[in-house]
Structures are given as C-alpha cells and as structure tokens.
Structure 1
Amino acid sequence: PPTVHTLNNTTAIEGTDFNKKCLYDKGQPSETNVYWARQGSSFRQEGDVLNLTKIQSSSSGNYTCTAENQYSSGNKGQSKQSMIINVEYPPTVSNLTNKDIIEGDDLSVTCFITDGNPAQTTIYWTKTGDSGFRQNGVVLLIQNIQRGSADTYTCTAQNSYSIGGTGSSSQSMIVNVL
C-alpha cells in the first residue's frame, strides 16, 4: 500500500484561503488515488491538496488524508493520516442603540459580545470627537454626564490570534445629552 506521511495539527484564520498538501509514498502498483475527508461530515475532496477557500469557523475539525491503490487481486491498499484544523476568528459585538440622556445623569451602557476563537478578548470604548478617550471594559460609564460628552461612542472587542495578528469587531452608538 502507499504510505501517508504524518500530518501536524494546524491553525487558520477565518476568511483566508487554506491549502494543505498530503505527502505520501506510492505503493506497488504505483497508481494512487488520494482524497481528503472530514470526520463527522459528508465532506470529501479528491486530490492530494486540501483546498478550503475563505475558510469559515464551521470548518474547524478533524481532516483525514487517505491514499489508496488497487491490487491486481481486486483488494485495496490504504494508508491514512489525520490532522485537526483550528479556525480562529474575531469576537462579535452586538448592535448598540442610540441613547438620549439628561444632563447630570449617569450614563451606563453594556457592550455585549459573542466570544471569538481564541476567547480571550480585550473590550474597550472610544469616543469619535476625543482621540484620547479610551475606557476599558464592557461597561461605558460616564457619571454626571454633561452636554460636552454628547458624541458617537464605539465599543470594540479584540482578540489575538495564536499565529499572529488580531481580530476585532466594533459597534457605535450616538449619545445625545438633553
């Protein structure tokens, strides 16, 4: 039978193209059929290169490369190796609603997020009209708000990918001080 070389687990970033070549040694007879399959699904891709265009988080899983040859007796020779693909993706910030608040009141707005992968997330608020404004955490809190605080506020959630780079998601809202 042919012999498939060991495959290492790998990480991909959502939205990128993913390609992995299955290396194998031919058996006897040398004509070899190679294909990829995903455990627990009907996914099957012919050929020695696994090609996933604009990979999605739902593509995470265990993939197996199989190499087969056909003996003259009608039997098959077969070799398999598996690897896990971990697709990393950014967190998602839920939509924010514009706020009307009376001057002197306390503004408190919670930023709701859905974790990305990896789940470790940094959350912070910024203000459009003030490049120095940054408030860390899920809650935007402005006590005794004044009319000068009326502006657009943005909640950003960010994670760092294990293979470098970051993913982020943001939503904005207008705060109108009455």
Structure 2
Amino acid sequence: MLLGGLLGGGMSFFVPNLRRIRGVQGGTIGGGMGAAGFLLLSPLIGEIGGRLLGGVILGFFIGLMIALLEQLSRKAYLLIHWHEKETTTLSLGDIPIILGSHQNAHILLSKAEGFYPETAKIFQQGEEIIMEYNADYAQAKGMKKLIYLLKNGDTRKFGEIRLEVQSKDIISSS
C-alpha cells in the first residue's frame, strides 16, 4: 500500500492538474489491491508468480483508481477532438494546459501551419476558465484581445484540432 501511495503521488508530478492527494489516494487503494492479490495468489502459484501478478494488479488498480478519482473530482475539463473519431480529455486546473508547436506543449500544434512554440494556454482560476494567447502570436494574427473567458460548451479550432470546454457546476461568461 505504501508503494502504491508513493507511485500515485509521484504521478501527480507528471499528469497536469492531478492533485497530489488524489494520486496518493488512488495509489494507496491500488497498492492494497496489489498486496491482496499477492497474498491470495502466492500459495497457488508460488512466491515469484504471486509477486509478478501482484505487481500487475498494483499497476492496473493504481491507474484505475487515479482515473476514477480524477473523473469524480474534476469540475472542468478540455475535450480535444484530434479527428472525427479520436478524442482526449484533459482536466483543467491551476496548471495551464499549453497549446503550441514546442515538444513540451500538452497539445501539440503544427509549426508548419504557423503556430508558435507556445500559442496559447488554458487554465481554471477560481470559477473562471481562461484562454490566454501568446502576445506575439496574437499580434501576428491581428488579434486585439489576448484573454478570453470560456464557458461550458465553448469550442476553439487550431488547425485540424478542435477544443471543447466542458464543466460541472461552473458558471462563467464569455
């Protein structure tokens, strides 16, 4: 359980807007399931097999519990429509979701289509969902406004990628 809690907490450093407490909770539950799997299976398949299967169960349940806790606790998220049939979900929070052509951007945009390394960022501040464009990008595109307040159902298109804001219990105006 301790290992699971540490692994889950460690994942919060790499998953944007995954709160550390949620990672630790999910990891601890996953660790408990992995330990139970080891204890139940070791007498049947031996210690090595029990450890291997316990590790698999640990990883599976850490991922499952973190995903479940994330689903239950998030209030706002971004749906990224890559294509007609491919969609990804990212939770919104204090840590900005970066859109751009830089390799470290959370949502990678095509440099060939004129997108800057950091084109824009989307984040949640209190009850407001904010999209803030890079000043240089906005100037190059002739945009007069850099900051937009988004609300549930708002969409933005960046090349072939369409972003859609989804929220629960959040009311903000654009």
Q: Which entry has the higher C-alpha Rg, 1 or 2?
A: 1
TM-score scaled by length of structure 2:
0.27
TM-score scaled by length of structure 1:
0.27
Name the structure where strand makes up a greater proportion of residues: 1
Name the structure where helix makes up a greater proportion of residues: 2
